[in-house]
Amino acid sequence: MTSTVSAQSLASAAFLPPTLLLLLAVAGGLLAWRGWRLGGLAAAAAAFGVILLATPAAENWLLGSLEREAARSPGTAAEPSAIIVLGGDGALGADGPEIGPLTLERLRAGAALHRRTGLPLLVTGGPLSKGATPIAKLMAESLEADFGVAVRWVEAEAPDTRGNAEYSVGLLRSSGIGSAYLVSHGWHLPRAAEAFARLGFPVSLSPIRVSPLPPGRLTDWIPRTDHLAWSWYGIREYAGRLVYRLRDGTAEGRRNVLHTAEDGRKIH
């Protein structure tokens, strides 16, 4: 499982912008130095792409569109009977491994939803690297120590978002639960919700923050490095949704396969 996580992390780092654009800029510069005129044009175009991704406008288009999609989700007719909090990042603190800032935000939202509804909590996430403590175990410890909230289920094996869905659904269905709230950042929830939908498990989305539409000011086009990082998250989510759909099919198609299997009919 940890090798899968490492491979996915390497692919995300190397084959998605801005790293991909920077590599293209270097390659174009080298080709221009060797006398290939189009190399300079390619390098300039790649550099412009990096600058564009560092603007608030690009960040809002990439992340904000996903957040607003999550906010528009109609929910589910089934009444949620549990709360699923999806793991995110980790960090190394003074006393050892701990949750990262993104995961902390998800825990805070999950704890607030738990207090409002009284529903039991499930945290999900495996090790982020070889030999690391599963992020779900760190999440459970933080919820108890920092928020005074006990966790009923700790799913500590999932290597990615699809695994979060598969293993969490297995735990909840074995406990007789057929629907749940799903807590994560708004930009992550569309991909996560599709993973749960492919399993025929209804979830009601509980997004963390929803970015408003950009005001259309000149400052929306002034680049800054922190916007570049958030744009990368957005690109990764769109790329992840595409990969999941190509690999796993659409949510509707997946449900049809599951229903066919449950009915005992032959699957072609």
Q: How many CB atoms lie within 10 A of CB 26?
A: 12
Domains of the chain: 2-18+54-209+224-263 (3.40.50.620)
Model-wide pTM > 0.95: no
Q: State the alpha helices, DSSP H only, in the chain.
A: 2-15, 19-33, 37-53, 56-59, 65-71, 101-117, 135-147, 161-174, 189-198, 225-248, 251-263
In this predicted model, what pLDDT tens digit does every residue of 90-122 receive, in sequence order? 998 888 899 999 999 999 999 999 999 999 999
CA atoms of 215 and 210, how far apart (whole Å): 15
Q: Which residues pair with 205 in a beta bridge?
A: 182
Task: Name every residue whose Cβ is closer than 8 Å to that of residue 13 and which is 6 or more positions away in sequence.
Answer: 19
Tokens of 225: 């490095």
Residue 210's Cβ-count burial label (10 Å; 0-12, 13-18, 19+) is: middle
209-239 per-position pLDDT tens digit? 888 877 778 889 999 999 999 999 999 999 9
